């Protein structure tokens, strides 16, 4: 069955430090890949997506992600985090056929130390 | 333009009562999705609409859950005889034709006492 794994439930980094959030998926082919962010009490906001083409994708708020087919990974990175980046981050995949419903990882909660 | 909207934003109900949750998708989006976010289960798919039809209902957890969509726009998710385990945030998303990015609403937080 298709699945998405975010190994880190909670990460704490200092403001200004670099960030990498991990995401691995299990799927028979290359799916569509997404990163969403959720601030407390809010809905999900799309950070970036990968459908095809260049494996390094740029998103909003200075985030980027790299698709690595050989590792079935789509890790999210940011060179220098800001206190406003504190939130929960979800990796998701969509099937290429049919409804294209999203399958989500369990999320990574990011805390920023001042 | 306006994003996905959901109402109510919060709903408290008693066990056994029926509730209706509403979703207004982005204008022109033909695909609409319902998801549920709960502490124990994370984010899980419930149902998908393309236009007014629901070709994928595989995520509905029981026959107490139903949904409809009218006029290719507004959707209502109905939960009958609510149970405490139905307490969760119900998220709606829409996309253009179901082949593209899904945009999410702010959710309805349901608490069943």
The answer to whether residue A104 neighbours chain B at the CB level (below 8 Å) is yes
Interface of A with B in 3-62 (CB under 8 A): 34, 36, 42-46, 49
Contact check, Cβ <8 Å, A103/B45: yes
CATH assignment of the domain containing A20: 2.60.40.10
Cβ-Cβ contacts under 8 Å for B62 (sequence gap 6 or more): none
Tell me which residue range forms the domain holding A65: 3-113
- The domain tally of chain A equals 1
Q: Render pLDDT for B41-95 as a digit per residue (tens, 0 to 9).
A: 789 999 999 999 998 999 999 999 999 999 989 999 999 999 999 999 999 999 9
Nearest CB to A43: which of B42, B55, B106?
Answer: B106
Kindly state which CATH superfamily the domain B5-96 is placed in: Immunoglobulins (2.60.40.10)
Q: Render pLDDT for B5-21 as a digit per residue (tens, 0 to 9).
A: 999 999 999 999 999 99
* Residue B98: CB atoms within 10 Å: 23
In B39-74, DSSP assigns E strands to 42-50, 53-56, 65-69
- Give the chain A residue whose CA is nearest to the CA of B42: A106
């Amino acid at each position: 069955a298709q699945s998405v794994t975010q190994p880190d439930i909670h990460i704490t980094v200092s403001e200004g430090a670099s960030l990498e959030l991990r995401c691995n998926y299990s799927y028979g082919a290359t799916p569509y890949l997404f990163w969403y962010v959720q601030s407390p009490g809010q809905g999900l906001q799309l950070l970036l997506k990968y459908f095809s083409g260049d494996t390094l994708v740029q998103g909003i708020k200075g985030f980027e992600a790299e698709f690595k087919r050989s590792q079935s990974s789509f890790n999210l990175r940011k060179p220098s985090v800001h206190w406003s980046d504190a939130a929960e981050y979800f990796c998701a995949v969509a099937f290429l056929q049919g409804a294209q419903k999203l399958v989500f990882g369990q999320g990574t909660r990011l805390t920023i130390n001042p | 333009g306006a994003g996905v909207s959901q109402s109510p934003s919060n709903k408290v109900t008693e066990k056994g009562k029926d509730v209706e949750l509403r979703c207004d998708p982005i204008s022109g989006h033909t695909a609409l999705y319902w998801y549920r976010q709960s502490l124990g289960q994370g984010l899980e798919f419930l149902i998908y609409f393309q236009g007014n039809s629901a070709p994928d209902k595989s995520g509905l957890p029981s026959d107490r859950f139903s949904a409809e969509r009218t006029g290719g726009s507004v959707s209502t998710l109905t939960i009958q005889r609510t149970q405490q385990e139905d307490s969760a945030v119900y998220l709606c998303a829409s996309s253009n034709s179901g082949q593209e990015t899904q945009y999410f609403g702010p959710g309805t937080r349901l608490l069943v006492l």
